[in-house]
Amino acid sequence: MENNTALTLQETHTLGKTLAASGFFPDAKQEAQAVVKVLAGRELGLGPIYSMTKVYIVKGKVMIAAEIMGALIKKSGRYDYQVKALTNNECVLLFTDNGKTVYESTFTMEDAKRADLVKPDSGWMKWPRPMLFSKALSQGARIVCPHLIAGAYTPEDFGFKTDESGEIITPVFTEVKSEVVEQTEPVLSSKEQREAIFASAKKAGILEDDLRGDIFEKYGVDSTKALTQTQASKLIDYLNSLPVPEKEA
């Protein structure tokens, strides 16, 4: 999986041109797209062909299949994970650092529903176990060993339609009338929604650091800016439903 041959930038551009011209990779029909995929994969220790088939880039976000993320963790020699529970309702992974358990990553179907990931005819309906595993893995990796995955996400983190192995089913770029059209990402939260989130949390007596931790646990993102508008709306409703703590006399 590692790329043992260091390529110069010019060699990478030449390679990217060849890969794009081959027509084998529908989400990289232009040289620049192929070069970016190869460079992103290189940062993760992946070779050019593996990068072209396993790395997706949408609006600046690098995405890789869960199997790749798992392999990066296990080949590190320092970090690892074990499956504590994996059902159609939840996945629990125990992350270790030099053999010592340091984090328990849990993701449930309820979490997926709150994050608005469960759609009709989606992977979450067809094969919930791989979907839950992917989210629990990504969540744990971003907490325990973020440097290993270089900030990469899994497609499930953003609700892309994937198959049982975590590969995006519909290419990120699809050809329509000879034009390459980028697949639309979910609309992110508005400034007003983010302000409402912090105001509602403050009203419920929740500290900002605790709120950010809860958002990461539930949605796998590290800021309110990365929430979709649907997720932000549901979070606001949830926070507003919490009892207001009594003021001390």
- Per-residue pLDDT tens, the chain, 249 aa: give them: 444 456 777 888 888 889 888 888 877 888 888 898 888 888 888 888 888 888 888 767 788 888 889 999 999 999 999 999 999 999 999 999 999 999 999 999 999 888 888 888 777 888 899 889 999 999 999 899 988 888 788 877 766 666 655 566 554 443 333 333 344 455 788 888 889 999 988 888 888 878 887 777 677 777 888 888 888 888 888 888 888 777 654
Query: Are 243 and 205 within 8 A, CB to CB?
Result: no
Which distant-in-sequence residues (6+ apart) come within 8 Å of 231 by Cβ? 114, 115, 116, 189, 219
Q: 140 and 79, same structural domain? A: yes
Domain count of the fold of the chain: 3
Q: 90 and 37, same structural domain? A: no
- Furthest-apart CA pair in the chain: how many Å? 73
Distances in Å between the Cα of 199 and the Cα atoms of 2, 192, 207, 236 are 47, 10, 11, 9
The residues facing 97 across adjacent strands are 79, 100
Residue that terminates a domain, selected from 35, 64, 93: 64
What is the residue range of 45's domain?
Answer: 9-64
Q: 142 and 117, same structural domain? A: yes
Query: Are 235 and 225 within 8 A, CB to CB?
Result: no
CA angle centred on 133, ends 128 and 136, rounded to 5°:
125
| Residue 144, domain member (yes or no) | yes
| Residue 169, domain member (yes or no) | no
Single-letter residue type at 142: R
Q: 47 and 91, same structural domain? A: no
Residue that terminates a domain, selected from 141, 158, 175: 158
Query: Are 228 and 202 within 8 A, CB to CB?
Result: no
DSSP 158: G
**How many Å apart are CA 107 and CA 93, to the nearest integer?**
9
| Residue 148, domain member (yes or no) | yes
Q: 209 and 236, same structural domain? A: yes
